[in-house]
Amino acid sequence: MSNVIPHSLFTDFDIDLFKAGKHFRLYEKLGAHLTEVDGKKGVYFAVWAPSAKAVSVIGDFNFWIEGEHPLNIRWDSSGIWEGFIPNVEKGAKYKYKIHSHHGDIKTEKADPFAARCEHPPNTASIVWDTTYTWKDKNWMKKRKDINRLDKPFSVYEVHLGSWMHKAEENRPLSYLELASELTAYVKKMNFTHVEFMPIMEYPYDPSWGYQLTGYFAPTSRFGYPEDFMFLVDELHKNDIGVILDWVPSHFPEDAHGLGNFDGSHLYEHPDRRKGYHPDWKSLIFNYGRNEVRAFLISNAVFWLDRYHADGLRVDAVASMLYLDYSREDGEWEPNQYGGRENLDAISFFKELNEEIYGSFDGVQTIAEESTSFPMVSKPTYLGGLGFGMKWMMGWMHDTLEYFKKEPIYRKHHQNDITFSMTYAFTENFMLPLSHDEVVYGKQSILGRMPGDEWQRFANLRLLYSYMYTHPGSKLLFMGGEFGQSDEWNFQQSLDWHLLEYDYHKGIQKLVAEVNNLYRNEPALHEKQFVSEGFEWIDYNDSENSVLAYVRKGENEKDDLVLIANMTPVPREEYRIGLPASGSYKLIFNSDAPEFGGSGYKIAKQYTSEAVEWQHRAQSVVLDLAPLGVMVLKKFKSAKKS
């Protein structure tokens, strides 16, 4: 007699949606669910394995013996095996023993929908209840307004395992410890959001979390699922949004994972030209299979629903969009129209974004997409992919290349630093200085800066000030905000001891201040994605390597004038044209002594003159600090005669 009681959480409608690839709340049905049947407490298990001829739940409650708790396959050709096992409790460890029709293979698989996983290198799933009493009601009510595209998005990118270590124990902080330490720090630094590199369970530390095996479970490295909820809750209570890195592009071949799940290519594409990623030695999801699309979209929805995430940054979008991505001729097959676009992935993205934006108020999806694929961040009803924002990889590359150059040579590369404005409004761009830019021999951001010690830090202040006054939202990887000297090492803490030194402390103060400027000056965010929010004053003075431009808000009184001197040579009596007559005050100077600057004397207030300059009726003469950005704001209009 079976120890499994027939039971199902699925309705016929659920099954129809699942088969059609339209069930986007599968986590409510598949997986392990604590429940009660016929007065008995226990767990309902359900797993999709259509090519299996037998599936058993094995675990510490049955000594991992196959056959003690066999699941029943549903009659409706859905491929779902299910059943209720009495007396199994929260905390029980389990896997699925799957006997396949293909080659008489038997495998032990972790639950794809497990709410909690064992700490790696152990690989079992754990029965868990993710019930949590949220205290972020105020945040959830107002985030629709906070997360709009005309509001500031200044994102602090964090790798939880290496942000800060408990020194005496030489271990990363737990979710609960981060809830106080990280929240206080992000608030102090005036970032609006944090972005966590993948926190879903992953087996291999050097993957940084980008090779997932537990798509529905926060990694057990830092605590329990409810501990991670508490971290999100604390950030929300302090008006800090939470963005999660999400990886629908590929998954590892680990034996307990999704690969060859029921003896068949269930989750991965069966054609290796579409189902295997040569760079990452990993498997690629079959985006054309209905049930796989439902799995992935359900997973995205899960983190927004159960964990109150405010956005998803979708990893490696370009690798999904193109059939020939990282492949030589002959290693890929064109689509039905002879093109290189992956039509299944394109339609998947559109459906994903339609579901997310249709179901949740105040969330954003952000694409890490490095090509010129059109309309990534445009709505699907206009033919776009439907993302809210896209990383501006071209800006990142050109800007870092420019800043690496000795200032004396920058006059020959003026176009490199201005080129981004030719395409800045084709997408809703986020400017990223991410973890990818501080690893694998690229050096830290500070390490790229040329010159002596003072010039290196001045260049870094200049870079951040330019970044925060350039159109678009912002992302800065942890450590960059205080001038981490060495490349990022995922195995150790950031070098917080550097804050004992004034230059590093000055960088930290500057980042807090540019965050403050970006948040509080409407001209820097209200029109950050539209051309009406930006206007060049002059980009042609390559001889002096000076840029001057205007950032505009909804109200003309909020407009800002910005001047950047890209060399260590002060420019005295430098004239620029002004957008309007009146009196202007200096509201920001990256060369200020409190940031570690030279303290070069520049006036705090200016009055326009009726001298035509740079095709403008009004102009002003000012002194430019070395390697500095200054921001002017009009506070008084000219008197009418």
CA dist 159 and 173 (Å) reads 11
Residues composing the chain? 641
Cis peptide before 203 (omega within 30 of 0): no
Contact 295/287 with Cβ under 8 angstroms?
Answer: no
- H helix intervals, 197-280: 225-237, 272-275
What residues contact 329, with CB distance under 8 A and at least 6 apart?
A: none
Which contiguous run of DSSP H or E holds residue 165?
A: strand 165-166
φ, ψ at 209 (rounded to 5°): 100, 0
- 368 catalytic? Reply is yes
* Residues forming beta bridges with residue 546, ordered by sequence position: 565
Annotated catalytic residue: which of 201, 245, 368, 437? 368
Q: To 10 degrees, what angle do helices 290-305 and 343-359 make?
A: 30
What is the full DSSP assignment across 45-105? EEEE-TTEEEEEEEETTTTT-TTSSBPEEPTTSS-EEEEEEET--TT-EEEEEEEESSTT-
CA dist 265 and 275 (Å) reads 9
Identify the DSSP state of 26: G
Token output for 421:
């404005």
> What distances in angstroms separate CA 273 from CA 149, 263, 317, 321, one per listed residue?
38, 19, 17, 14
- 168 catalytic? Reply is no
Annotated catalytic residue: which of 14, 268, 315, 521? 315
Contact 547/539 with Cβ under 8 angstroms?
Answer: yes
Per 3-state DSSP, the chain is made up of helix, strand and coil in percentages (nearest 5) of: 30, 25, 45
Task: List residues with catalytic annotation.
Answer: 315, 368
